[in-house]
A and B are shown apart, each in its own frame.
Chain A
Amino acid sequence: MSQVPRKEHHAAHHFDDAVQERDAALLGMWLFIGQELLFFGGLAVLYIVMRLQHPGAFVEGSGHLSWKLGGLNTAFLVVSSMTLGLAIRSAKRDEAGKIVPFLGATFLLALSFLVVKGFEYSEKIHHGLVPGKWFSAIGADPSLHVFFGMYFATTGLHALHVLIGMGLLVWLMLRARRGHFHSGYQTPLDLVNLYWHTVELIWIFLFPALYLVS
């Protein structure tokens, strides 16, 4: 069915078997996800405090953001998560020829997310909405810069996570081309899948918190 040569996986010597290796990898990934939630949790707490102290700035600042572009980016991430899931499904079904196309689609959707984000950032920079010495916007609320401080800090960190995810997707594509993933071994795919869903999860909250404030 497929032209990709299958490469068998052998568990590392310090594991009893492949099942123990996979369990250890998943345990590590869930611990990483837990710390990611707490890492972004710090920003979430900061957001709550700032929004309570400067409610007007958040309403006005949100009005400067395009919910259409934010919604489009949400759709990109949701569909990219689906295509990544389909890549794992293909590996489990030994449909090796479909893994790279699904991973490629995921990569392109992630790239689209960053391109849209780039357009948004460029508009904000052009309008003098970058906090610090670059901030030159005249807003109705005197604390508008607080909102944009939150906007750039949270979306910037999230975009960095997307960029890291794209690097991981390239790594997966290279390995998939060499036949590393099949019904007997998909652990790296599963781990990146969990990471990518965490990135999606964070955006799911950033979108209403920044773009849909009223």
Chain B
Amino acid sequence: MESVKTQSLKYYFAVAASILVLVAAALAVHATMKGPVASALTLGLAGLQAVVVVLFSMGLRKEKGFNRLIFVASLMFLGFFIILTLADVLTRGDVAKDEEFNFSIKSPVKPLTGSNHTIDGHPPRHEGRAP
């Protein structure tokens, strides 16, 4: 039987090489820059790598329209999920001023010695009640 049409070997090497170059760029950013801009850049470069993987390795650009819709819809729901969560978390201080005290999960990092450990040096609150 005749072979079906395939991509050239160069295509596979080029896709892998482009992802590795983007990884190297992210490492270079990490080595030379600090702060939130560096984090945003490395995550942005990860986004570019993801675009290369999805379009060229997974072949989404040649997929059927409905399969494309499934993928894009998943990303949209993930976006809604993140936006709604941030809308909640970033505006909580406006609603309850003492929420950090009530719900903060921060605790000192120290070796646990036995069962009488306390939170921030204070005895457990709401004694006798389920947490």
Contact = CB atoms under 8 A, between A and B. Distances in A.
A54 B15 CA distance: 36
A164 interface: no
Interface of B is mostly: helix
A138 B110 CA distance: 6
Interface residues of B, number: 59
Interface string A36-75: 0110011011001100111000000000000100010011
Contacts of B107: 142-143, 145
Interface residues of A, number: 63
A146 B78 CA distance: 23
A41 B93 CA distance: 25
A82 B125 CA distance: 55
A48 B50 contact: no
A212 B1 CA distance: 50
Interface of B: 1-7, 9, 12-13, 15-16, 19-20, 23, 26-27, 29-30, 33-35, 38-39, 42-43, 45-46, 49-50, 53-54, 57-58, 63-64, 66-67, 70-71, 73-75, 77-78, 81-82, 85-86, 89-90, 105-112
Interface of A: 23, 26-27, 30-31, 33-35, 37-38, 41-42, 44-45, 48-49, 52-54, 67, 71, 74-75, 78-79, 81-82, 85-86, 89, 92-94, 128, 133, 135-139, 141-146, 182-184, 193-194, 197-198, 200-201, 204-205, 207-209, 212-214
